[in-house]
Amino acid sequence: MTKIVVAGAGGFIGGHLAKTLANMGHEVRAIDIKPLTRWYQITPGVENLVLDLKIKEHCYQALNGCSEVFNLAADMGGMGFIETHKADCMLSVLINTHMLMAARDVGIKRYFYSSSACVYNGQKQADPNNPGLKEADAYPALAEDGYGWEKLFSERMCRHFTEDFGLTTRVARFHNVYGPFGTYDGGREKAPAAICRKVIEAELYGRNDIVIWGDGHQTRSFMYIDDCVKGVLAIMYSNIEEPINLGSAEMVSINQLVDYVEEIGNRKLTRQYDPNAPKGVRGRNSDNTLITRYLGWEPSLPLKEGLRKTYAWIKQQMIENKGKDSRKVVFNEF
């Protein structure tokens, strides 16, 4: 049994990871800036602390007495958020900087940092028929403004703390993670959850149209949360020293994504396109050559299968929380 910190545990991925680690028998300390009433999951037996990890002293409090860290804490959301909150996204650099300093000083043995595909050079994502972004495509640097630059800088911080202080760090570049127990409204949601919500609204309230940001031809790949957690653990305990992609290679257009969700909801909606809405790069996909070579595995749950699970969960939440704050605490049973 290892005493492990999960930073950002009140969020989507962090909540799933904290639960998985606890189920594996580890002693878990979960950290998030949000009040406990706004955490997406709380797992029995886990120590939960509400701390602002941008504050250096809070990082020492969070890490003291532990031996491993999974740092998923950041101020972030979908494209609608990161394109309009660039300064807030950049301020997350304080989290990883102070966490690394604390990890060095309290004797942390392993440190995982969650980076993003937003670090990749934007010029390599101008074509919807993206062949897949290789890890080397982050340089020469031209990252997503704000959020992507912060992630790329924090990757470099991890590298130099390894080189200068011997701290074992692992970095994964997430590609669009989705699934149950995550944000589906309020402005921070990502495309799969947002589209599920819009189709469910049509199902529940008789609406017949859907607004799609951009022209719908922009492409992405989407990784189901279970694949994400499995990949995080595999990378953390591997010998992979460089940042590595963690994402599905099943690329779809946003129009195709809407097709899939309409099929699940048994609805056909009138599509309205908003060319002025935040839409990000034209084409992004994960090249999984490196992770397959290192681990003999890659995220592979078919998108349609993951969407069915996600749709069912969001629909349940929308029915149960009609007229209420959708971000309720869910207590997990082992």
Which residues are the active-site residues? 147
Residue owning tokens 């056909």: 268
- Are the C-beta atoms of 19 and 43 separated by less than 8 Å? yes
In terms of Cβ atoms closer than 10 Å to its own Cβ (0-12, 13-18, 19+), residue 205 is exposed
In whole angstroms, what is the distance from residue 237 CA to residue 122 CA?
Answer: 31
In whole angstroms, what is the distance from residue 309 CA to residue 298 CA?
Answer: 20
In terms of Cβ atoms closer than 10 Å to its own Cβ (0-12, 13-18, 19+), residue 79 is buried
In whole angstroms, what is the distance from residue 132 CA to residue 98 CA?
Answer: 33
- Are the C-beta atoms of 170 and 236 separated by less than 8 Å? yes
Beta bridge pairs of residue 244: 172
Please tell me the number of Cα atoms within 13 Å of 149 on its side-chain side.
Answer: 10
Specify the DSSP class assigned to residue 144: P
**Chain centroid to CA 139:** 22
Query: Residue 334 corresponds to which tokens in the numbers above?
Result: 């082992």
Measure the N-to-C terminal CA separation of the chain; round to a whole number of Å. Answer: 17
DSSP class per residue in 95-126 = HHHHHHHHHHHHT-SEEEEEEEGGGS-GGGG-
The per-residue b/e assignment along 299-332, b for 16 or more CB within 10 angstroms, e otherwise, is: bebebeebbbbbbebbbebbeeeeeeeebeeeeb
